[in-house]
Structure 1
């Protein structure tokens, strides 16, 4: 769909503020983990097989947004620097920018024929300027397709929110739209994840974060994204194939292993020597992995990154079962002390109370994020759940990003979004190991097969 730039036509813009004014002078300090995500942005698109019948429907959306924003003062605020030089949000009710656009194609044709990069036309965004005091860090785009179809794009600075936080905000908006109670209320407590009085930075976790912070920026290359939806039967088949060697494997384990090995094959570099190290950065949400779990509604970032490595020869010889076992062993070995040690190390990099400059968290090594837990398909409009939800991370460089996400299908079904250098994405979409699971391929361009039940 090479004409996507012209078929998405913005027709109106407005700003929505909360119904109830925030107390003057209220601020919200960004946490230590928020500051580490400063180079990245977050973009989510929720697709519905729904048509606005009249202007009253749009009015309800705006009214319910203004209502839910009463509970989220930082979303309508603006960034400013605090006395210590760190970012804070001035909760000044400046509002959320909203665009309304028409998409001159049907929902099914878009999901079938659009490229993953073209999807960003549904999520308005402007990079943060040097002076962000008038800049809206949260933006929403309402997109209406021809026929019965709509998509709501949500974009924000990753410093403001991680995928869990942004998804729960959106779900709370749809709950307010349906006049239901908000199930996961926001929890504002940035000090919940901060360095300890007796820090421990002599760990592999701290060493990995130190190495990431010093990594040289990779040479820029054009990246592209492909989306694969796997049925419960396909995931069950994958799990059964590794059962003997890895009986405790989860859907994330096998999908991380499958796409890690497929991404390696997609590279055009010469064949690796057996002793060469291959590495995968794994990103997880730690809200519910702490001894004192954080609420789902914890506002901000609660992501932890760790590294799993293996020799190329062992991966090639052991196949999917070996690599899935490698991922499972790594995931099982993660302890709360690993999380706190990383936090301690970030805290230790402060100078005069100011956090160190942000570095690239997604990269430069291939990164795989476990986002299976997201409440993406609980964000229902009326009684309709989304037919598809996409997640994009801005400023991904290096070897690329794999996102393992929920699927509209109940049970073991999963969606995987992969962002790689463009030539490698093309090869990945032809990988026999992936195609043997008969995935539905979405937003991969006209050349790939497609099916999507209504």
Structure 2
């Protein structure tokens, strides 16, 4: 019997399990790093939207066949998370148990959906159940949902445990699936031992650094997890800014910060406007947790499987009262550009050092929060091995030139002050999309903020019509 959700627009039609086309070697396991373990409270959700139909009901089988082929390269994706008997540590038993695949229909066109759905409704395009911590041995850590819109549009939703993968890793899985469907080479095959074989995981702390800021920050975050937050209903909206608008605004602050990037500009703008909502006329410091990908700086394989994210804290006085946004932009730029290899290794060493006497990692804690967090996806703009000026997520092409027209990212279990995600736009160049998750009342005010609206953003997946 068809299961209809509360929005009455997304209907689940069928469920199945996809397995790899080649069985994994018996006894294969995938171990998590200390950073992976720390991310366990969160989940990752990515939705790829395509204008044209990728398949008909009768040729879905070939689509599934190439999925099985690519899953052969990703044994942890089809495995199950279990407790290791020796020390109680989580690990993936690569047993070919398979990936849950859901097929659904959406009772509207893709264009109508992008202009009218909100973040909560969009999440219905991804199948997900939180990991049962008592016995997850039968729980699928990955879910794929294929959604067909009226008129031919398709959305592919991928959900996974953040302990398994970060947004870049999840993106590469879908991109590799598309490459296999086109019978092309897999440009960024997964690599599973980039960090597991590093000196830090063998207990050799050889990465010296003069800064302890990262370790102190993570320590404070782990301690903050013991203080319950006042839970608020969160909402999500996405703002799309054109190439011309970003260029013009960077030009206007050129004298203050001539080397500013689109991320610096968007992070500073939304930080300042959200601070004004949360702390009007405050004279205290305002803090922003900034999340960046470190694959390139640590010279990891770009197909690194797992988490390659670093969080750090930037604090400024009177952010919401700054008349010259360039001051905030400059502070963001200096903070991000000053981060080097030593700081990243120091943080990774700290995660490994949390292991208890028996070898079990410390308890996971809220990585996205409780302070306002801003994630940079600038590394996806010039990702190695992709066509110039085509951001990574928009190279997931299944059929000829049927590129994604929109890609959404969400992080599960975001609490506290909220999350800002700055990512490339399908337009390319300096165009950017900003997805904001805030308490609903604050989000409503932000969507009416004059400073943001003066940049003429197009609203996508926000429950409001596009301009």
* Equivalent position SS for 1:25: coil
- 1:419 counterpart (433, 437, 440): 437
Quote the residue 2:337 is aligned against.
332
In the alignment of these two chains, the number of paired residues is 441
Q: Distance in 2 between matches of 1:70 and 1:63?
A: 11
Q: Tell me which residue corresponds to 2:394.
A: 377
SS at match of 1:387: strand
Residue 433 (str. 1) matches residue 451 (str. 2)? yes
Q: TM-score, normalised by structure 1?
A: 0.94
Equivalent residue in structure 1 for 2:190, among 186, 191, 199:
186
Does the 8 Å contact 1:373/1:406 carry over to 2? no
* Correspondence 1:72-87 to 2 at 5 A: 72-82=74-84, 83-87=86-90
Partner of 1:350 in structure 2?
355
* Pairing 1:284–2:292 present: yes
Decide whether the 8 Å contact of 2:424 with 2:433 is kept in 1: yes
Q: Given the alignment, which residue of 97, 103, 127 partners 1:94?
A: 97
Match of 1:271 in 2: 281
Instruction: Give 2:386's aligned residue.
Output: none
Q: Which residue of 1 aligns with 2:387?
A: none
CA distance in 2, matches of 1:101, 1:140: 11
Instruction: Tell me the secondary structure at the aligned position of residue 373 of structure 1.
Output: helix
Q: Which residue of 2 aligns with 1:171?
A: 175
Aligned counterparts of 2:103 and 2:148: Cα–Cα separation in 1: 8
2-structure distance, mates of 1:212, 1:413: 33
Which structure 2 residues correspond to residues 151-166 of structure 1 after superposition, within 5 A? 151-166=155-170
Instruction: Give the TM-score, by structure 2 length.
Output: 0.92
What are the Cα deviations for residues 259-306 of structure 1, in whole angstroms up to 9, with x where unaligned?
A: 101111222x55312xx110000000001012xx00110000010000
CA RMSD of aligned residues (A): 1.5
- Post-superposition Cα deviations, 1:35-57, rounded to whole Å, max 9, x if no partner, equal 01000000011000012553343
Q: Which of 235, 238, 258 does residue 269 from structure 2 map onto?
A: 258
The 5 Å alignment of 1:140-151 reads 140-151=144-155
CA distance in 1, matches of 2:454, 2:163: 39
Q: Could you say what secondary structure the match of 2:430 adopts?
A: coil
Identify unmatched segments of 5+ residues in structure 1. Answer: none
The Cα of 1:234 is off from its aligned counterpart by: 1.0
**Cα distance in 2, alignment partners of residues 238 and 301 from structure 1:** 33
Q: For the Cα contact (< 8 Å) 2:12–2:102, is it kept in 1?
A: yes
User: Would you say the 8 A contact 2:55–2:63 is kept in 1?
Assistant: no
Q: Which residue of 2 aligns with 1:70?
A: 72
Helix, strand or coil at the partner of 1:304: strand
Structure 1 residues 410 and 52: CA distance shift in structure 2, 3 A: closer
Distance 1:442 1:55 in 2: 28
Unaligned runs of 5+ in 2: 381-391
- How much does 1:336 deviate? 1.2
Paired with 1:310 and 1:337, the residues of 2 have a C-alpha distance of 24
Q: Any conservation in 1 of the 2:18–2:101 contact (CA below 8 Å)?
A: yes
Structural mapping, 1:202-351, within 5 Å: 203-215=212-224, 216-267=227-278, 269-273=279-283, 276-290=284-298, 293-312=299-318, 316-351=321-356
Does the residue aligned with 1:166 lie in a helix, a strand or coil? Answer: helix
Alpha-carbon shift at residue 356 of structure 1 (Å): 0.2
Residue 110 of structure 1 is matched in structure 2 by 113
Residue of structure 1 equivalent to 2:384: none
2:7 partner SS:
helix
Work out the CA distance in 1 between the residues paired with 2:402 and 2:34. 38
Q: For residues 11 and 297 of structure 1, do their structure 2 counterparts lie closer, same or farther at Cα, with a shift above 3 Å needed? A: same
d(CA) in 2 for partners of 1:52, 1:224: 30
Write the distance in 1 (CA, Å) between the matches of 2:435 and 2:424.
Answer: 11
Give how far 1:117 is off. Answer: 1.2
Work out whether residues 117 and 225 of structure 1, in 8 Å CA contact, stay in contact via their aligned partners in 2: yes
**What is the rounded CA distance, in whole Å, between the counterparts of 2:64 and 2:150 in structure 1?**
22
